[in-house]
Structure 1
Amino acid sequence: METRVDEIADGIYRISTFVPDVAGPAGFTFNQFLIDAEEPLLFHTGMRHLFPRVSEAVGRIVPVDQLRWLAFGHVEADECGAMNAFLAAAPRAEVAHGLQGCLVSLNDLADRPPRPLAHGETLDLGGKEVLRRRVLHLNTPHVPHNWEARVLFEETTGTLLCGDLFTQLGDGPPVTDHDLVEPALAAEETFRQTSCLTAAVETMRSLAHLAPRTLAVMHGSSYYGDGAAALRALADGYAERFSPEVAFAARPSVLAGSNAPRG
């Protein structure tokens, strides 16, 4: 495995580890994103066993003990498995997450009390005015999955830290201006990770109003370009491909042998 570091937007770094024997022959990337600011923020920690690799990569940009904030899309091993290892390595660091995630999981799981964020709350990471970093917290329950799911939007660079949205298989370039929608829909066909389809489609369309210039994607390449159009196209693709009618038509065996009443 190789862990590489690439700057995908001004002062925002993608830390990526490609694992070839996960998710079939194409393999899978596990990505973290570091915002280099007066109060540095790491979005995703990686799994516990990746901590040595990820922390070494963070240290190429800022000293690990200077990290101020740890954040992630939802509570899952690849998003926050190394959370407590980073808390131990960075004495000033706090976990910042939505209130729901704090109440349900993080008040118990985190070695230090987390900082709960309200929907629409902005976390100021500091810096000079032109380079000031601010991240907007937005609750996206069940999108793409988990009750406490959320995204962060870095306002200065227009970067949407979108977690598992736009997940792709394989090991593409760090950032691309090529279409991510078809690869993301293909990955959804494999994983079926997204829940509450109607809510997911509406949430993606609402995120398009942010007009992000960069989509920081946890699994696969990030995207630079018209992020609003990409979000709307992904929403349309989900609505067309994964509506209940399409899903059941494509998978008639779902009801085969069930005890459902027969008309």
Structure 2
Amino acid sequence: METRVDEIADGIYRISTYVPDVAAPAGFTFNQFLIDAEQPLLFHLGMRHLFPAVSEAVSRVVPLDRLRWLAFGHVEADECGAMNEFLAAAPRAEVAHGLQGCLISLNDLADRPPHPMAHGETLDLGGKEVLRRRVLHLNTPHVPHNWEARVLFEETTGTLLCGDLFTHLGNGPPVTDHDLVGPALDAEEMFRQTSCLTAAVGTLRSLAQLAPKTLAVMHGSSYHGDGAAALHALADGYEERFGPELAFAARASALAGANAPQG
């Protein structure tokens, strides 16, 4: 396995480990994103067995003991398996997550109390005004999966830390301007990772309103370009390829509502 570090936006670094045995023969990347700021933030922490490689890569950009914030999209091994290892290596660091995730998991799992964030809350990472880093926390329940799912949007660079959205196979370039929608739909066909496609379509269209310039993708290449168009295209792709499932879910929901007790 190889772990590499690449800057994908101003002061935002992709730390990527390619694992050829996952989804062979194409293989799979597991990516973390480090925002280098007055208060550095690491988004995705990786699995415990990858901690030595990932932490060494992080230290190429900032010393581990400078990390201030640890974050991830949802509670899952590849997102936060090494959470407590990072807390031990970074004495000032706090886990920042949505209130739901803190209540149902992280208050118990994290070795230090996490910092709960409300939907729409901004975390100021500091820095000089022109280079100031601010991340916006947005709840995205069940998108792509898990009740406590969320994304972060770095406002200064227009980077959407979108977690498992746009997941695709292979070991492509760190960042690309090529279309990721087709590969992402193919990966969805294989993994069926999105737990609620009806919610996903609406969430993707809502995130498009942010007009991100960079999509920081956890599995695969990141994307630089018209992020709003890419998010709308992925929503369209879900509707087109998985339309019968969406229609069935809508009918089932309507039927459940019609049969619900009244009064």
- The bucket for the TM-score relative to the shorter chain is over 0.9
Partner amino acid, structure 2, of 1:168 = H
Question: Which residue in the other structure is 2:11 paired with?
Answer: 11
Identity among equivalent positions (%) equals 89
Partner amino acid, structure 2, of 1:187 = A
238 and 87 in structure 1: CA distance in 2 versus 1, 3 angstrom threshold: same
Structure 1: which 5+ runs fail to align?
Answer: 249-263
Question: Which residue in the other structure is 1:181 paired with?
Answer: 181
Aligned residues: 248
Question: Which residue in the other structure is 2:129 paired with?
Answer: 129
Quote how far apart the aligned CAs of 1:23 are.
1.6
Aligned-residue Cα RMSD (Å) equals 1.1
Question: Which residue in the other structure is 1:143 paired with?
Answer: 143
- Detail structure 1 runs of 4+ shifted over 3 Å in the superposition: 244-248
Rounded Cα–Cα distance in structure 1 between residues aligned with 2:245 and 2:141: 23
- Cα contact 2:102–2:114 (8 A) shared by 1: yes
1:145-179 Cα shifts (integer Å, max 9, x gaps): 00000000000000000000000001000000000
Question: Which residue in the other structure is 2:254 paired with?
Answer: none
Question: Which residue in the other structure is 1:216 paired with?
Answer: 216
Structure 2: which 5+ runs fail to align?
Answer: 249-263
Question: Which residue in the other structure is 1:76 paired with?
Answer: 76
Quote how far apart the aligned CAs of 1:25 are.
1.2
Rounded Cα–Cα distance in structure 2 between residues aligned with 1:166 and 1:110: 28
User: TM-score normalised to the size of structure 2?
Assistant: 0.93
Partner amino acid, structure 1, of 2:10 = D
245 and 160 in structure 1: CA distance in 2 versus 1, 3 angstrom threshold: closer
Question: Which residue in the other structure is 2:90 paired with?
Answer: 90
- Cα contact 2:71–2:97 (8 A) shared by 1: yes
242 and 140 in structure 1: CA distance in 2 versus 1, 3 angstrom threshold: same
- Cα contact 1:40–1:67 (8 A) shared by 2: yes
Q: What are the residue-to-residue correspondences of 1:113-124 with 2, within 5 Å?
A: 113-124=113-124
1:51-79 Cα shifts (integer Å, max 9, x gaps): 00000000000000110000000000000
Question: Which residue in the other structure is 2:32 paired with?
Answer: 32
- Cα contact 2:198–2:246 (8 A) shared by 1: no
User: TM-score normalised to the size of structure 1?
Assistant: 0.93
- Cα contact 2:71–2:95 (8 A) shared by 1: yes
The secondary structure found in structure 2 opposite 1:207 is helix
Question: Which residue in the other structure is 2:61 paired with?
Answer: 61
Rounded Cα–Cα distance in structure 2 between residues aligned with 1:247 and 1:27: 33
Check if 1:207 corresponds to 2:236. Answer: no
Quote how far apart the aligned CAs of 1:246 are.
7.9
Rounded Cα–Cα distance in structure 2 between residues aligned with 1:100 and 1:208: 23
- Cα contact 2:197–2:246 (8 A) shared by 1: no
- Cα contact 1:197–1:243 (8 A) shared by 2: no
1:2-44 Cα shifts (integer Å, max 9, x gaps): 1000000000000000000012311000000000000000000
- Cα contact 1:241–1:247 (8 A) shared by 2: no
